[in-house]
């Protein structure tokens, strides 16, 4: 008999939705995109609206010449700071197949307001139209651009963090690996991985006691990994899948930056996240880990009506700001 249950406050806020009939499982990446977009918009809406954060779009180019837009979220005081400030490269989630900077704008603005320094959000290409190669090269192009243009942007290149949620956490982890392998200088300072997907070897949930609690399911996970890695029905000819596309399969994790990971106990990705944490520590990487009891993937849906919402977000903020 399972002892798993949702956090009491989370369940109280989400009871109507959680007790509604379960929608049919998606059959392809486009159906995942549709449902994921609805989910992401609901999460973004739960974040408090902030004032005084301005958006400015910059652009750089990816490995294949494609234009990559990078949007800066920052206050005037941060932009005009007397000293260069730390900065965050935000990589949005969306199951590798959805999500945009615009959908995440409220979340990114909140992050910039709470941090007090700039957050740069990259508009990476998504599957199934593109594969992991394009997505990750876009993300790295944004990081390299930010580092190279740090002086003009009034940010400290030695104090850059990469951050993302879910698939954005995956791409953040891959980008940190690429930064290490390509010898980004100064090196990346921190990686902040929010319930990241890290392993394409999705475990069966048939006998998982949390099966009925998972808001992001095994079926959706298998579909989006296939789309991202251009395999199965999404197979493309002459597609190169980068070595760092699947962080859990990378053998050497040494030399990575200070790491933060958080995940709920009723999240499909918990086990792979815990495994990654253990491997990072064995590789000599310092890690701050938070496991949220009774919380599922995308728990921010509940918004500020739940007492621990701001406290949990403050934990992320404090990690980024520490020692900067």
Q: Which of 82, 105, 90, 62 has the alpha carbon at shortest distance from 156?
A: 82
Asked, for residue 117, whether it belongs to a domain, the answer is: yes
DSSP secondary structure, 229-280, as one string: TT-GGG--TTPPPPGGGSGGG-S--TTPPEEEEEEEEE-TTHHHHHHHHHHH
Asked, for residue 312, whether it belongs to a domain, the answer is: yes
Asked, for residue 57, whether it belongs to a domain, the answer is: yes
What pLDDT does residue 69 have? 99
Phi first, then psi, for residue 27 (nearest 5°) are -105, -15
Asked, for residue 3, whether it belongs to a domain, the answer is: no
- Joined together, the tokens standing for residue 51 give 């004032």
Q: Which of 16, 18, 25 has the alpha carbon at shortest distance from 224?
A: 25
What pLDDT does residue 59 have? 99
- Are the C-beta atoms of 167 and 224 separated by less than 8 Å? yes
What pLDDT does residue 302 have? 87
Give the N- to C-terminal CA distance of the chain in Å, as an integer: 47
- Joined together, the tokens standing for residue 182 give 């390509």
Asked, for residue 207, whether it belongs to a domain, the answer is: yes
What pLDDT does residue 206 have? 81
What pLDDT does residue 32 have? 97
Reading the chain (324 residues) residue by residue, the pLDDT tens digits are 567 789 999 999 889 888 888 889 999 999 999 999 999 999 999 998 999 999 999 999 999 999 999 999 999 999 999 999 999 999 999 999 999 999 999 999 999 999 999 999 999 999 999 999 999 999 999 999 999 999 999 999 999 999 999 999 999 999 999 999 999 999 999 999 999 999 999 877 788 888 888 999 999 999 999 999 999 999 988 888 999 999 999 999 999 999 999 999 999 999 999 999 999 999 999 999 999 999 999 999 888 778 788 889 999 999 999 999
What pLDDT does residue 2 have? 65
What pLDDT does residue 110 have? 96
Q: How many domains does the chain have?
A: 1
For CA atoms 143, 106, 72, 38, give the dihedral sign: positive
Other CB atoms within 10 A of residue 253 CB: 21
d(CA 194, CA 162): 11
Domain enclosing residue 198, as ranges: 11-321
Q: Which residues pair with 261 in a beta bridge?
A: 193, 289
Strand order in the sheet with 190-194: 54-61, 67-74, 119-122, 85-91, 155-165, 190-194, 258-266, 287-296
Asked, for residue 301, whether it belongs to a domain, the answer is: yes
Other CB atoms within 10 A of residue 22 CB: 8
Asked, for residue 4, whether it belongs to a domain, the answer is: no
Give me the CATH number covering residue 195.
Answer: 3.40.50.1820
Q: How many residues does the chain have?
A: 324
Asked, for residue 2, whether it belongs to a domain, the answer is: no
What pLDDT does residue 303 have? 84
What pLDDT does residue 319 have? 98
d(CA 92, CA 59): 17
Side-chain-facing half-sphere of 95: CA atoms under 13 Å: 32
For CA atoms 154, 158, 160, 162, give the dihedral sign: positive
Q: What is the pLDDT of residues 101-120, one digit of tens each?
A: 999 999 999 999 999 999 99
């Amino acid at each position: 008999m399972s002892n798993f249950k949702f956090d009491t406050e989370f369940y109280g806020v989400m009871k109507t939705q959680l007790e509604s009939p379960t929608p049919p499982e998606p059959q392809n990446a486009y159906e995942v995109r549709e449902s994921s977009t609805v989910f992401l918009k609901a999460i973004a809406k739960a974040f408090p609206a902030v004032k005084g954060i301005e958006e400015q779009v910059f652009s750089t180019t990816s490995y294949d010449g494609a234009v990559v837009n990078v949007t800066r979220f920052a206050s005037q005081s941060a932009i005009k700071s007397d000293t260069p400030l730390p900065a965050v490269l935000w990589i949005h989630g969306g199951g590798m197949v959805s999500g945009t900077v615009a959908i995440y704008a409220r979340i990114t603005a909140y992050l910039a307001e709470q941090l007090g320094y700039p957050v740069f959000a990259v508009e990476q290409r998504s599957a199934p139209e593109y594969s992991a190669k394009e997505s990750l090269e876009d993300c790295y192009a944004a990081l390299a651009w930010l580092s190279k243009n740090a002086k003009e942007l009034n940010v400290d290149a030695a104090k850059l963090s990469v951050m993302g949620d879910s698939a954005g956490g995956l791409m953040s982890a891959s980008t940190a690996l690429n930064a290490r392998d390509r010898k980004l200088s100064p090196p990346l300072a921190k990686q902040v991985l929010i319930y990241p997907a890290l392993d394409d070897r999705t475990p069966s949930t048939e006998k998982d006691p949390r099966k009925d609690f998972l808001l992001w399911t095994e079926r959706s996970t298998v579909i989006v990994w296939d789309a991202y890695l251009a395999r199965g029905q999404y197979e493309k000819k002459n597609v190169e899948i980068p070595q760092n596309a699947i962080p859990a399969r990378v053998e050497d994790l040494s030399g990575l930056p200070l790491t933060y990971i958080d995940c709920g106990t009723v999240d499909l990705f918990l086990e792979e996240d815990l495994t990654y944490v253990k491997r990072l520590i064995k590789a000599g990487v310092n890690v701050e880990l938070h496991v949220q009891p009774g919380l599922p993937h995308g728990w921010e849906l509940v918004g500020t009506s739940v007492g621990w919402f701001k406290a949990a977000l403050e934990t992320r903020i404090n990690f980024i700001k520490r020692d900067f």
